[in-house]
Amino acid sequence: MVKLKAASASPSPFAHRHLLGIDGLSREDVYRVLDLAAQYIDKNRQPDKKHPILKGRTMINLFFEDSTRTRTSFELAGKRLGADVINMSVSSSSVKKGETLIDTAMTLNAMHPDFIAVRHPESGAPHLLARKVNCSVINAGDGCHEHPTQALLDALTIQRHKGKIEGLTIAICGDILHSRVARSNMKLLTLLGAKVRIIAPATLMPASPQSFGVEPYYDMRKGLKDCDVVMTLRIKTEYMQSSFVPSAREYFHFWGLDREKMSYAKKDAIILDPGPIIRGLQIDSDLADDIARSMILDQVEMGVAVRQAVLELLAGEGK
Ligand code: CP
């Protein structure tokens, strides 16, 4: 087996047992993940994608919400590293009979997993779980709170296309209020020295945007002016009790990314979206499919590599 090079940005150990959010990560930690993930991108493009450093370890994917990208990429990441991966189907588990998150976690813990990747609609659920189990817990998205591996894969995508993150102007547009992706990205991208703008209608803007060190805009054209990176977000209707926008048509008119609005960003600006993309609502189909500008599928590729890097570092293999 060929050993991948040790991540080079910092000689210090990756001193984290869990990945619950961006808080607590240093710039060195982040570059450690990104450097290691970059090596996995190359490995994943080869016919033999296996690098079985986690042979004998067990990973459980515990998803209380739907997912395509995150769950599949955690599964691929674990399997390519040689771990045994269990995808627990919550819809056919004893959760449906009333078992609590804590009892579910303690039950799974008794089977001695090494990693649990958890997605849950309640903010803070992975933190609660981490206090009850002996293994590493990875937050795969908790309510409107955080989605740290998504922000890391977004950072890797930006770094690969722009050569850096520090000094870039990055606009995050859409339903900021309900977005765990926006929260993790605001923390991570400002930590790495980017100037972050958030663009949203007043109803979808968080209460104190300045507390994240970002600049709020209520007009797409002003917010997009001279940006290097534009990130669009889905409207998270599953977290809304009532409608936050007048109509889909009006939303797209004012807040949907199309070529006319995109013309305010820099000529070489790139587009990111964590997905799923709702065509004709947060982004025009034509732009989403423009391979010169849209990095949406690159983000998916980066997702596997970043999750491999996170698993390796949490397992202590990257020390
Ligand atoms: N980006 C993301 O979290 O997508 P999924 O909901 O499909 O996992």
Query: What confidence score (pLDDT) does residue 96 get?
Result: 84
Q: Return the residue whose CA atom lies nearest to atom 5 of ligand 1.
A: 67
Q: Among 61, 63, 64, 69, name the best residue to mutate to test ligand 1's pocket (greatest count of ligand atoms within 8 A of Cβ).
A: 69
Q: Return the residue whose CA atom lies nearest to atom 6 of ligand 1.
A: 67
Q: Among 62, 63, 70, name the best residue to mutate to test ligand 1's pocket (greatest count of ligand atoms within 8 A of Cβ).
A: 70
d(CA 104, CA 115): 15
d(CA 98, CA 257): 42
Query: What confidence score (pLDDT) does residue 319 get?
Result: 53
- 69 C-beta closer than 6 A to ligand 1: yes
Query: What confidence score (pLDDT) does residue 209 get?
Result: 87
In the numeric block, which tokens belong to residue 45? Answer: 């493009």
**Closest ligand 1 atom, CA of 147?**
3
Q: How are the residues of the chain apportioned to helix, strand and coil, as percentages rounded to the nearest 5?
A: 40, 15, 45
**Closest ligand 1 atom, CA of 274?**
1
Instruction: Count the neighbouring beta carbons within 10 Å of the beta carbon of residue 239.
Output: 15
d(CA 56, CA 60): 13
- 70 C-beta closer than 6 A to ligand 1: yes
- 274 C-beta closer than 6 A to ligand 1: yes
Query: What confidence score (pLDDT) does residue 3 get?
Result: 57
Query: What confidence score (pLDDT) does residue 300 get?
Result: 98
Query: What confidence score (pLDDT) does residue 92 get?
Result: 80
d(CA 11, CA 110): 35
- CA dihedral sign, ordered 45, 48, 53, 57: positive
d(CA 235, CA 130): 29
- 141 C-beta closer than 6 A to ligand 1: yes
- 67 C-beta closer than 6 A to ligand 1: yes
Q: Return the residue whose CA atom lies nearest to atom 1 of ligand 1.
A: 274
Query: What confidence score (pLDDT) does residue 89 get?
Result: 80
pTM surpassing 0.85?
A: yes
Report the chain (319 residues): mean pLDDT per 10 consecutive residues: 53 85 96 97 96 97 94 98 93 85 92 96 95 96 97 98 98 95 97 98 90 95 98 83 73 92 98 94 94 97 98 82
- 16 C-beta closer than 6 A to ligand 1: no
- 275 C-beta closer than 6 A to ligand 1: yes
- 263 C-beta closer than 6 A to ligand 1: no
**Is the separation of the CB atoms in 182 and 233 below 8 Å?**
yes
> Shortest CA distance to 228 belongs to which of 300, 156, 161?
161
The Å distance, Cα 2 to ligand 1 centre, comes to 31
Q: Among 61, 62, 64, 67, name the best residue to mutate to test ligand 1's pocket (greatest count of ligand atoms within 8 A of Cβ).
A: 67
> Shortest CA distance to 195 belongs to which of 161, 158, 150?
158
The Å distance, Cα 3 to ligand 1 centre, comes to 30
